[in-house]
Amino acid sequence: MTSRATSLATAGASIAALASQPALRRFLLKWSGFNAPGGVWRILAILLALANLKNLPGVWHFRFFRAFFYHLHFQPTPIPPHALFQPVITSSRTTLLETDYNLHKSNSTYFSDMDVSRTHLFTAIIRSAILKDKKKNKSVTFGASATQGTKGRHIIALGGISCLFKKEILPYRKYEMWTRLLCWDRKWFYLVTHLVKPGVARPKSWTLQPWRKTTTADGVDAEKLKSAIFATAIAKYVIKKGRITVPPEQVLLDAEMVPVKPEGWVYDGDDNEANGGLNGSTESFVPKVVGEGEWTWDVIEKERLKGSKFAEHFAAMDGLHDVFDGGKEGVMGEYADLLF
């Protein structure tokens, strides 16, 4: 008998033993209202709600703010700057209400899950900037040098997302979302998320959770990792105060994730080396582990350029807004989605 079957048998025996107690049976019948009119339907409704807990009203907001406030106020380990391009892993499961007519995770539900995963990552990266300015001015004012004199409060806004689906995710199957900073430009932060089968990857270190078990193996075969991917998405974020954009580089500087750029600094790295993945192995796009003393602008720019080649194509999709012609050449028809 497998360990899983043994666990199920033990759990079943424990439940049966508890159910045999008359006092407990009376309590459960009274609490559940099983004998009351409509009691069976009430119990079924409770079970359905528990089986689809993440889809109940207000639960998405709880998941979002839990991630935000945890990294802002309760994360015990400060994030070192050289972990800027490392991923954050968020795990979840597909509920029955998230499935479509094919009985697998509906494409639209990927986006709400990735909202939570990106919140974990982005808050961890810029937490120092938020806390620093909250302490000074009781409001988020990072990037003050770029927005001085501008009215309004800071907002972090999602500007777009694109997702490529590779494999289906079946009901109640667990999956992991690996989200990391891909790159940035003068306006946007670009984040990439991979939804993958759990347990395939074997991290060599856990920067914010140093107590977790690590591996000394050389890693997992690239083909095996690729076969574990369910979907991959790219998203872009912008930080604004009023109508003024706070440059991403300024945000990272205020968050103490990048050093002050030396005066007159010019990147003198090998562009072919930084962007070689487009012409050959994708391994060159994997962020390299560096020590704190090696965290210089040459290293940072090299890593940023790796992701920029993907981000450029995503940013080019902004031109699709110009394709809308308002029916200049006619339309097929108009139909209500539900009732009206």
Structural domains in the chain plus CATH codes: 34-137+152-203+221-260 (3.10.129.10)
CB-based burial of residue 27 (10 Å sphere; 0-12 exposed, 13-18 middle, 19+ buried)? exposed
Buried b (16+ CB within 10 A) or exposed e, 82-121: bbbbbbbbbebebbebbbeeeebbeeebbeebbbbbbbbb
233, 197 Cβ separation under 8 angstroms: no
Q: Residue 265: what are its φ and ψ, rounded to 5°?
A: -65, 135
- Which residue, 140, 133, 125, is CA-closest to 237? 125
pLDDT given for residue 340 in this prediction: 73
Instruction: State if pTM tops 0.85.
Output: no
Q: How do the pLDDT tens digits run along the chain, 340 residues long?
A: 455 455 555 655 655 665 566 776 666 666 666 666 666 777 788 888 888 889 999 999 999 999 999 999 999 999 999 999 999 999 999 999 999 999 999 999 999 999 999 999 999 999 988 877 565 554 445 555 555 555 667 789 999 999 999 999 999 999 999 999 999 999 999 999 999 999 888 888 899 999 888 776 667 788 899 999 999 999 999 998 888 899 999 999 999 999 998 888 888 776 555 554 444 455 566 666 676 678 889 999 999 999 999 999 999 999 999 999 999 999 999 999 888 7
Residue 241's alpha-carbon distances to 64, 122, 152, 318, 337, in angstroms, are 22, 18, 6, 22, 36
pLDDT given for residue 280 in this prediction: 45
pLDDT given for residue 10 in this prediction: 60
pLDDT given for residue 151 in this prediction: 62
**CA gap 158, 141 in Å, rounded:** 19
pLDDT given for residue 30 in this prediction: 66
pLDDT given for residue 114 in this prediction: 97
pLDDT given for residue 69 in this prediction: 94
